[in-house]
Structure 1
Amino acid sequence: MSYTFSPLTQRQAEQIAYEWQYDGAFAFYDMPNDEEDLAEFLDPAKRTEHYFAVLDREELIGYYVFEPNADVVDVGLGMRPDLTGRGNGVAFLE
Structure 2
Amino acid sequence: MFSKKKAKVTELTAPGQEKKGCCISKMCCTARPQTKEAIMGGLTFLGMFGPKKIRPHIQHLLAVIAIATFVIKAIRPGRKDETA
Structure 1 and Structure 2 fold alike (TM over 0.5): no
Higher percent of residues as strand: 1
Return the TM-score normalized by structure 1: 0.24
TM-score by length of 2: 0.26
